[in-house]
Amino acid sequence: MEKVRVAMAMSGGVDSSAAAAILKEKGFDLVGFTMQLWDHRRSIPAGDDYRSGCGCPVEHLHDAREVAARLGIPHYVVDFRKEFEHTIVRNFIESYRMGLTPSPCVQCNSLMKFSHLFDMAKEAQTSRIATGHYARVSYDEKNGRHLLLRACDRDRDQSYFLFELSQSQLAMAMFPLGNLEKDQVRAVARKYNLPVAEKRDSQEICFIPDGDYAAFIERYYDEIVGSEVEQPFPPGPIIDTEGRMLGTHSGIHHYTIGQRRGLGIAHASPLYVLELHPDGNTVVVGERSRLGRRRCRVEKINWISIPRLIEPLRVWAKIRSRHEAAPAAITPLDNENVEVIFETPQSSITPGQACVFFQGDVVLGGGWIARFIEENHCQRS
């Protein structure tokens, strides 16, 4: 019997490397692909030393190449840096300027990694694509749809980041780590004597290894966005929920909903960012108790387990990657937008973040949190 040929995404990390080893052991014919997405030397201010372990592409490329050689599979490096900058980084910068908090890892998976891996799979004449994500896929014969499921290891589950995958992508997708825990994955890497077996996981957004989003946005705004705006990061007022001015900010890109640090305001009790108003360039702050909300609008929905939502439905909704999914009701507003009403108030529902809906282990679908649909905390002029 002819072996099934698989396009394997190889990042140079332990997860994708172990996933490749698992598929190789099972008899699949693998072709490894490593995508160059960002030159990290651009992310480090002039004069700063490059910190080890922060995701150097050269290191990752070398590790992916070494793993492929160890497993005896062909390996190709493909340069998508221009596409990544235009599609992911530009959106990241402009979203923060508009008072939104984007989820670049979600968009990178759908618009870059899986989209391009899907195309490369066709060119390489492979019938499947595989990654090192902690998730699972199955097929529902009853409704004829491919399903995305949570990983068995809930602490490692990455299905939240994959909710934008299409039916055609899920039909080809393989996630060899979906049934494993992290210690089992490292055991696989050790078994095959892979050089990345003890390599630590990356934590920050890949193109901002030092975690300073605001500095990155200011440094690359002109180069990447290329706008002729005279003052792209204007200062503005910080006000409370009654509209009283408490201070001045140096640009709303410094803030996100729920933020406490960096406000620079002396107050009797801790203050948190409640809202960002880009039209008035205003930051609204208040006490922690004001962060809880029950309702939000979610837009640009991608349905997975169903073709569309036609009536209200009970789900578990997750409003950010590390949020504990909470019970909620979703009601269709139109084909691409829904209203979400949680049973209990959820802290820091943040416009720009992804909201993903689950029923048990199955990902129903998900979309993007819009600006608040309930009455504002303060009156705007």
Query: For every residue of the chain, which 3-state class applies, written as one string?
Result: CCCCEEEEECCCCHHHHHHHHHHHHCCCEEEEEEEECCCHHHHCCCCCCCCCCCCCHHHHHHHHHHHHHHHCCCEEEEECHHHHHHHHHHHHHHHHHCCCCCCHHHHHHHHHHHHHHHHHHHHCCCCEEECCCCEEEEEECCCCEEEEEECCCCCCCCHHHHCCCCHHHHHHEECCCCCCCHHHHHHHHHHCCCCCCCCCCCCCCCCCCCCCHHHHHHHHHHHHHCCCCCCCCCCEEEECCCCCEEEEECCHHHCCCCCCCCCCCCCCCCCEEEEEECCCCEEEEECHHHHEEEEEEEEEEEECCCCCCCCCEEEEEECCCCCCCEEEEEEEEECCEEEEEEEEEEECCCCCCEEEEEECCEEEEEEEECCCCCCCCCCCC
Quote the pLDDT of residue 154: 93
Q: 209 vs 177, which has greater pLDDT?
A: 177
Mean pLDDT of 300-326: 96
Of 33, 260, 257, 249, nearest to 132 by C-alpha is 33
In this structure, whether the domain defined by 5-191 belongs to CATH 3.40.50.620 is answered with yes
* Domain 234-286: CATH architecture, name and number where available: Roll (2.30)
Instruction: Give yes or no: 108 in active site.
Output: yes
Quote the pLDDT of residue 44: 56
- pLDDT, tens digit, 9 for 90 and up, residues 40-87: 666 555 545 444 334 456 788 999 999 999 999 999 999 999 999 999
Quote the pLDDT of residue 67: 97
Instruction: Give yes or no: 378 in active site.
Output: no
Task: Inform me whether the pLDDT recorded for 227 exceeds 80.
Answer: no
Q: Name the active-site residue from 54, 152, 206, 378.
A: 206
* Averaged pLDDT score across all residues of the chain: 90
pLDDT-based confidence at residue 381 (cuts at 50, 70, 90):
very low
Cα 336 from Cα 352, distance rounded (Å):
16
Q: Name the active-site residue from 108, 152, 355, 378.
A: 108
Quote the pLDDT of residue 371: 78
- pLDDT, tens digit, 9 for 90 and up, residues 231-277: 889 999 999 999 999 999 999 999 999 999 889 888 889 999 999 99
Quote the pLDDT of residue 51: 41
Mean pLDDT of 288-295: 94
Domain residue ranges in the chain: 5-191, 234-286, 292-369
What percentage of the chain has pLDDT greater than the value 90? 80
CATH H superfamily, domain 292-369: Translation factors (2.40.30.10)
